[in-house]
Structure 1
């Protein structure tokens, strides 16, 4: 069937669960259904796509590691200068390291080899190569899975509950 986005009592995304687990949480009264897709499970219970917990759950902050894989996933495996979406993508520093730019979420983007070489040791403004999407740090580790589900068109209703997607 489908996956269900679980929101905290404050409407912040907590995780993604199976539809069966979501139904159990709703039936037990631990969660309420916020969004559904119209398919019925029982006579009065439709299949949820988003549920919200009734009690607030405190979740410790977890740092998202800055890795090649995470950067490619954040940028949807496309060059942030020309939009190329194939093999051979590289990582580019928006402000080059030789000019004080560091290895941070806000300073790194994916780029095809051609654009990376063309930009060289310049900033995007100096190279007249504007970025398609400004680089930023993902808000949570859940961001990647939610973004994938939204981009695939499976769960467009999740968009209003997640920042930065």
Structure 2
């Protein structure tokens, strides 16, 4: 039995990625004829439509909003660093504040980096300089388009 859950990639008419939509939303877009199946799951069908893995919009949608600064998310920070620790390069599973929260640090793109548990614990309540730890990456503020591409 196949479930009707999950997400479907969504491309603009110009083939640039816009993000993901729910499977139910994807089917509604097909029925309204605002999108076509760009990539399908083999020969599976849902009514008269191929089972979508990716959709492409029929008309171009202006995406100026995609190039504005993205809202901060924990998942976005991990994806920005490609799930690698900003200190040692190992697999990252936590977020580290460059200026610790207890010392006035905030949850922002420029004050947080991905870190592995041991490095995060080693740094503790210090700045990287105070802890003698060198950053392998410089934190930066991504656009909405960059965050959508990581999804």
Same fold (TM over 0.5): yes
Contiguous gaps of at least 5 residues in structure 1: 94-102, 149-165
Which structure has more relative contact order (CA 8 Å, sep 6+)? It is 2
CA distance in 1, matches of 2:46, 2:93: 45
Corresponding residue for 1:81?
Answer: 87
- In structure 1, how many angstroms separate the alpha carbons of the residues matched to 2:92 and 2:58? 42
Structure 2, unmatched stretches of 5+, are: 100-106
Say whether 1:147 aligns with 2:150. yes
The answer to whether the Cα contact below 8 Å between 1:37 and 1:47 also exists between their aligned partners in 2 is yes
Listed as ranges, the matches of 1:74-113 within 5 Å are: 74-75=80-81, 79-82=85-88, 83=90, 85=92, 89-92=95-98, 105=109, 108-111=112-115, 112-113=120-121
Q: CA deviation at 1:36?
A: 1.9
The one of 9, 22, 27 equivalent to 2:13 is 9
| TM-align CA RMSD | 4.0
1:51 Cα offset (Å): 0.5
Asked if structure 2 preserves the Cα contact closer than 8 Å seen for 1:5 and 1:51, the reply is yes
Deviation at 1:39, TM superposition (A): 5.5
Which residue does 2:104 correspond to in 1?
none
1:30 CA displacement: 1.8
- Decide whether the 8 Å contact of 2:12 with 2:59 is kept in 1: yes
Pair 1:67–1:45, CA change in 2 (3 A) = closer
The answer on 1:120 being equivalent to 2:124 is no
Count of aligned pairs between the two proteins: 132
- TM (norm. structure 2) is 0.58
Distance of 1:71 and 1:32 partners within structure 2: 32
Summarize the Cα distance change of 1:27–1:6 in structure 2 as closer, same or farther, 3 Å threshold.
Answer: same
Q: Which 4+ residue blocks in structure 1 deviate beyond 6 angstroms?
A: none
1:27-84 CA-to-partner distances (Å, cap 9, x unmatched) read: 4432121112226124763211110101112245243245667535644676311236
Distance 1:43 1:65, change over 3 A: closer
SS in 2 for 1:22: helix
Query: Which stretch of structure 1 is more off in the superposition, 19-28 or 45-54?
Result: 19-28
Change (3 A) 1:38 1:135: farther
Alignment TM-score, normalising by the size of structure 1: 0.55
